[in-house]
Structure 1
Amino acid sequence: MTGILFELTFFLAAPVWLLMIFAPRWRGTERLAASPLTVLPILVLWAVFAVPVLPELWAAVSSPDIDTFRDLTTLANGAAALWAQVIAWDLLLGQWMYREARRLSIPPLLMAPLLLLTILLSPVGLSLFLAVRATWATGKKQHPVPAPA
């Protein structure tokens, strides 16, 4: 059962990612990406995974060390809870990146690979996005778009 729910964790996030990447200008995507509620189903799965290993999970987060985390990840539910937490965090991060890109008018063709990279390796995707965001914002300040008359 844990294996099936583990697989389901990513599939609950996938539709939001697909919309942000392939339908970034659709009004429904904008509404969905603006909602933090997209992670609720994933957090429910996190709870299903976490409850059976709560003592081990608490030990890992309240007094973190590498051995405690290694022990937690040897438990199926422990690894699945950590995975669900990563998926939920990455999704919220991706939604923020999507909204920032829309606010700054960063082209969807530039954002699509950054969002895809964020799904796979969020620290790399976020770092590149922050560089693009800083560059884009600086470029906008140097070349402001005139306000309509």
Structure 2
Amino acid sequence: MSTLFDLSFFVTVPFWALMILAPTWRRTRAIIGSPWITLVPLIVWAIVAVPVLGAMWSLVSSPSLAAITDAVADPAVLTALWAQIIAWDLFLGRWIYLDSRARDIHPLLMGPLLVGTILLSPIAFPIYLVLREVAGRRSTRDHGVPHADPIAA
């Protein structure tokens, strides 16, 4: 189980490396532009979750702190939860990367923020939302036209 736990993160490293270390490379945008990259850690999730799906279903259908605390003592449940967190962080990092490129936010500013998304996405995401607002105001001031929101399109 330890190998699958580790694998759930390591399969995402190439995608994070592209976004952080090669953000302007033309192939990075094409690769990261695919939502299918988030399926890679979810494959690990499926491998470990299917055998414990009953236990996991009871966690989501009738959640309680005590039940979750007990469930994460099972390495398979904890590994499945970890893989789900890793997949979510990659999905969020992907959105941040694509949005920042569309808004032309400098990669040197985005690199540390994407690392922060890997480590603590609940902190990095609101920071990015503030950053994109500031960048949007700057763009409107400099060019007179606000950036189009790639998500709303």
TM normalised by structure 1 equals 0.93
Partner of 1:108: 107
Please report how far the alpha carbon of residue 41 of structure 1 lies from its aligned counterpart in structure 2 after TM superposition: 2.2
Please report how far the alpha carbon of residue 29 of structure 1 lies from its aligned counterpart in structure 2 after TM superposition: 0.7
Would you say 1:33 and 2:32 are equivalent positions?
yes
Correspondences of 1:62-101 after superposition (within 5 Å): 62-101=61-100
Partner of 1:131: 130
Please report how far the alpha carbon of residue 27 of structure 1 lies from its aligned counterpart in structure 2 after TM superposition: 1.1
What secondary structure does 1:106 align onto?
coil
2:5 is aligned with what amino acid?
F
Partner of 1:10: 9
Query: Matches of 2:103 and 2:9 in 1, distance apart?
Result: 28
Partner of 2:54: 55
Please report how far the alpha carbon of residue 126 of structure 1 lies from its aligned counterpart in structure 2 after TM superposition: 0.5
TM normalised by structure 2 equals 0.91
Please report how far the alpha carbon of residue 145 of structure 1 lies from its aligned counterpart in structure 2 after TM superposition: 6.4
Q: Could you report, residue by residue, the CA deviation over 1:61-113 in whole angstroms, capped at 9, with x for unpaired residues? A: 11111111112211000000000000001001001000000000000000000
Query: Matches of 1:145 and 1:21 in 2, distance apart?
Result: 30
Instruction: Give % identity.
Output: 43
1:41 is aligned with what amino acid?
V
Q: Could you report, residue by residue, the CA deviation over 1:16-75 in whole angstroms, capped at 9, with x for unpaired residues? A: 001100000011110111111112221111011111211110011111111111122110
Q: Which moved more, 1:13-22 or 1:32-41?
A: 32-41
Query: Matches of 2:70 and 2:51 in 1, distance apart?
Result: 15
Which structure 1 segments of 5+ residues have no match?
Answer: none
Query: Matches of 1:41 and 1:23 in 2, distance apart?
Result: 20
Query: Matches of 1:139 and 1:130 in 2, distance apart?
Result: 14
Which structure 2 segments of 5+ residues have no match?
Answer: 146-153
